[in-house]
Amino acid sequence: MGKHRAPDTESQSNPWLRRATAGISIFILIATALGGGAVYAINGLGKNIIGIDTSDLNAQGRPETVAQNETSSTNILIMGSDSRAGSNGSYGNVEGARSDTTLLVHVYQGREAATVVSIPRDSFVELAGCKMLNGNNSQPYKSKFNAAFSIGGPICTVKTVEKLTKVRINNFVVVDFAAFKKVVDALGGVEVCLTSPAYDPVIPGIGGSGLDLPAGYSTISGEQALAFVRARESLGDGSDLSRITRQQEFIGSMIRGMTDKGLLTNPGMIYRVLSAVTSSITTNTEFASISALQNFALSLGSLKPSKINFVTTPYEMVGKGNVGWTSEADELWTALRMDQPWPPVAPSPSATPTNQSTTTPGATSIAPKDISFSVLNATSTVGLASTAGTELKAMGYDVVKVGNSTQRITASEILYKSKNLAAAQALAQEIGVTKLTLDETLVSPIVLLVAPDWKNGSANQKPASPSTSASPQPSSTPTDRTAAAATCTKGNNRKKN
């Protein structure tokens, strides 16, 4: 597997270079790593950046935003175009372009942390009214999210995101297949890991990504990297949602690799990256200059992989393969608008009560109708939360919300605020949950996370042994994936002919 630096280990290079490298790392993935170009004054490359007029976007009311400066919170929308035009023609003759990969990057006040939200392309939402590519105007209508790009390009996608989330997009970047490959090659490749081999040959008229990788670690070139992030039917469960997870893992590996290589200590690599990016990206005119990108990238000097969190818009499956956003998605957008962390920060260990007892006065006497809580699906089984919610409502409980969790757990769990401990214990005793977690950041008074152990209205968990407290014990809430976390993707074990 080779020699690897621990994810949080800093480069031993000059401190200024280390800070600048950390800042540039996150935004190479969204094609803003070219900010380092000012270090070498390669200003002539700036003329290659394609800037798009945003007058149509600014012609209507938009969400408010804080004044933008080098430390303010800010939002970047990254769109991966699947256009087959020009040099992308080798990937088929599909007409038009769609944003099959869309990332909303929120950089927090102080620019020391960021949340990267993947928006599923199959989200069934109401698109904004847009100026179409043919010059006509479209009216709002419901469709899959990625249709916005094919109707009106990046401006229509930005309009739709702002309409749905009420989050102001301060800048945007569009990257196509060619740009993606060029950046990976300019970096000298990106390391990926597979638990088993992956083979997905291109079959004319049928499909295939061209992926061909062994089990273990591989440093892959731009062409293989594109196959790795585009493969869908052949890896995971074959869904776009599974592909999103793989794309997030790849971006994290890219960020770690650039940090380890010390991008700004290598003049040749700087020039290759700048040449690749500036000739291949499209952005808003305010962002389409070397100086603007330099200032932005260098404002991220304290941003490290461990402070970059990846999440997917909370969803549930609706209709034929469509994705519906749950009420938890509204909580996510609210958190970003308020510049609050997501997922909500778990309470510190000192806030965790110990030695709780199931004999809390009145706990078991609380009527089900007086216990209000949300039910979230913490598995990949579609509809489990809806099933559990229906069962619990039939038992008389006040289920206020049903949706999907960003967590994946193996045993059902109850999250609660301290003032709702008695109700949480009563619920836990009735439905067979043995794990409670204190979380004062909850929006709902109590949250039930249903796991694979949920069957017929109960978690069916074994009670604690006599040698320990009989009460469900609080524990810390698991954290989501960050760019510092190295993971391995499951291959497909297909055999070569």
State the sign of the Cα–Cα–Cα–Cα dihedral 51, 56, 57, 62: positive
**CB-CB contact of 425 with 463 (8 Å):** no
State pLDDT tens for residues 121-163: 999 999 999 999 888 999 999 999 999 999 999 999 999 999 9
Average pLDDT, the chain: 76
Nearest to 448 by CA among 470, 469, 426, 424: 424
| Residue 428 exposure: Cα atoms within 13 Å on the Cβ side | 33
CA atoms of 83 and 444, how far apart (whole Å)? 43
Percentage of residues in the chain with pLDDT exceeding 70? 72
> Given pLDDT bands bounded at 50, 70 and 90, which one contains residue 102?
very high
More confident residue, 280 or 340: 340
Name the packing angle between helices 267-278 and 177-186 (round to 10°).
Answer: 180
State the sign of the Cα–Cα–Cα–Cα dihedral 216, 221, 226, 227: negative
Pairing of strands 171-175, 372-377: unpaired
Domains, the chain = 15-337 (3.40.630.190), 353-450 (3.30.70)
pLDDT at 11: 36
Distance, CA of 384 to chain centre: 22
pLDDT at 47: 66
State pLDDT tens for residues 204-240: 777 778 888 888 889 999 999 998 888 876 676 667 7
Pairing of strands 99-107, 114-118: antiparallel
**CB-CB contact of 251 with 116 (8 Å):** yes
> Which distant-in-sequence residues (6+ apart) come within 8 Å of 222 by Cβ?
180, 181, 182, 183, 184, 185
Q: What is the DSSP letter of 393?
A: H
pLDDT at 127: 95
> Where is 140: in which H helix or E strand?
none
Give me the amino acid identity at 51. G
> Given pLDDT bands bounded at 50, 70 and 90, which one contains residue 361?
very low
pLDDT at 477: 31
Pairing of strands 50-52, 281-284: parallel
> Which distant-in-sequence residues (6+ apart) come within 8 Å of 255 by Cβ?
25, 26, 28, 29, 305, 308, 483
pLDDT at 152: 92
